[in-house]
Chain A
Amino acid sequence: MNFKTARTGGLALLAIVIAAAPIGFSNSYYYDVGVNAMFNAIVCVGLNLLIGYAGQISLGHAGFFALGAYGSALMTTNYGIPPIGAMVLSAAVVGLLAFLVGRPILKLKGHYLAMATLGIGIIIHIVLKTESKITGGPDGMSVDNFSLLGVTVMGDRMWYWVAGGLLVLTVWLALNLIDSPVGRALRAVHGSEVGAEVVGVDTSSYKVLVFVVSAMFASVVGSLFAHKNGFITPDIGSFFHSVELVTMVVLGGMASVFGALIGAVILTLLPQVLAAVEQYEAMILGAIMMGTMIFMPKGLLPSIVASLKRRGAGK
């Protein structure tokens, strides 16, 4: 099976799963969880371009998500800008911010980069929490519905189909990007930065590009999340949320679009499942993070695919 057929096959399968899943949904709570899972999946597919393909870590992406959310919330409520315009403007501002900070910090390597991105995320979180005159502070602020061309997106069912469509679009975009010269350049950067540079890849531009793109993905989803939820607090930009996003990517499988997607879905569903044992939730989550990474350091999907291949070869 070559890459092209695997790609269309995967996309078709994803579309079928999204379309068929509601058969098992007995009430709107399921749709709500489904929307959140798909929102996370979109952010993670973007973040995976940075972590999995370009090999650069970010522990601050929740900050970009929160900026998108607050950007939309503030522009629609205070200035009467239509939601779609607010979303695009927020993403543009976040992209510009990511570009400005990305240039100097992406020169950093490994743990220094982790520290710098972590710092940016925490600073954004603290600003959102502190500037309560604008953001409402820790109490959060409410956000209006999303509407476009007279149609208002309302209710969990409608959001489900919007999120589903966007997820398919995102995955299609990501798969194409990876299979393009840009994608190959990114993988070269991951393999060896010096090596990539020697063969003529402008490594720093590519790293900044993918950092900006992944930040804008997070921002757009942040905007949509704000409208869907109707209410946001600064905690959507917390360090813990950033860690959650990275964990989804790494758990599902770095450098695998569908891996990131699966990681996002699993980690979104997990708290719902663990709600029954609420007291032990943190311990179980920590144990799952450690266990998966110890026994499947490449992540769930790549490890499963590799073991299937081994079994196939054994026959």
Chain B
Amino acid sequence: MFAAFLQYLFSGLTSGAIYALAGLGFAIIYNASHVINFAQGEFIMIGGMASATLVAAGVPMPLAITLAMIISMAVGVALEKFAIEPARNADVVTIIIITIGASIFMRGAAQIIWDKEFHSLPAFSGEIPIAVLGATLMPQSLWVFGVAAVVIVALWWFFNRTMFGKAMLATSHNRLAAQLVGVGVKKVLLASFALSALLGAVGGIVVTPITFTNYEAGIMLGLKGFSAAVLGGLGNGGGAIVGGLIVGIAEALASGYLSSAYKDAIAFVIILFVLFFMPNGLFGKRGTDRV
């Protein structure tokens, strides 16, 4: 009984950590630009695919991982520079179509640059499962937890203790005021896309040894990350982390105890339920409408 529960919990925490990273990516871009980037999932895919194919081509793992992160960040910067920046003042729907267009473009490119097959990375520290109270834990899951925790702490430090991080926070609160006190808002926007792409890539890289990846892997991961961000309250970093973990754990429990076919539906059922009662997510600020 308990062992099964623990097993589901481990798998839920593993995917929840990835959703949390994706959700943070959504939150960072949303804060800097009020854009929801539907191509967030593609950063996860690019991180996974690039590192997997580089390793398969004989590049040493640490170098492959670094390169994958750089590639993903470059794509993020290009997206901001060439697709988001020129459409600064467009409608919400228009920008949604742009980012969805970008995600379709990236999937199409990935299909040509790589292929339609599934790719995997070797686990970072072996595949010998660890027994915990009757359940088993893969060492790679520990990597996922650890890396997610390190990333979260680093982000906290970046946003609260560095000048540039504070400038990004200031921009999210009031763009004009930030600009007036000398924050380079354009740089902040570029940095937010680079940072989100980096988060996505990191998530994609650490999870690829467990789930494998292909050119389409980003679709569902991106939507789950969006769910996490909305569940926690858009633009709330801590909320996105909690949201991601809730979605991951609920999914794992539902597929364990109810039906695995409905695993992907669970995230959306939770979201609808929460939004019915809390229209700004769990920790979101109540918005007011200016006339």
Contact = CB atoms under 8 A, between A and B. Distances in A.
Contacts of A101: 272
A122 B265 contact: yes
Given A112-B280, A120-B272, A283 B96 contact: no
A78 B109 CA distance: 44
Contact of A114 (B36, B86, B259): B36
A251 interface: yes
Interface in A265-294: 279-290, 293-294
Contacts of B226: 115, 118
Contact of B100 (A112, A129, A243): A243
B234 A112 contact: yes
Contact of B234 (A111, A126, A129): A111
B276 interface: yes
Contacts of B272: 101, 105, 116, 119-120, 123
B260 to A, nearest CB: 10
B289 interface: yes
B83 A282 contact: no
A288 B97 CA distance: 11
Nearest to A137: B261
Interface stretch (A168-176, A193-201, A205-213): A193-201
Nearest to B79: A290
A254 interface: yes
Contact-size category for B: 35 or more
Contact of B289 (A111, A114, A194): A194
- SS class of chain B's interface: helix, strand, loop or mixed? helix
27 contacts: A57-B92, A57-B96, A101-B272, A104-B275, A112-B234, A112-B280, A115-B227, A115-B230, A119-B268, A120-B268, A123-B265, A123-B272, A126-B264, A126-B265, A130-B259, A192-B291, A193-B289, A250-B93, A280-B108, A281-B108, A282-B107, A286-B101, A286-B104, A286-B105, A289-B104, A293-B97, A294-B86
Going nearest first, the 7 A-B pairs with the smallest beta carbon separation are A286-B105, A289-B101, A282-B108, A119-B268, A283-B108, A286-B104, A297-B90
Interface of B: 30, 36, 83, 86-87, 89-98, 100-109, 111-112, 219, 223, 226-227, 230, 234, 259, 261-262, 264-265, 267-269, 271-272, 275-276, 279-281, 287, 289-291
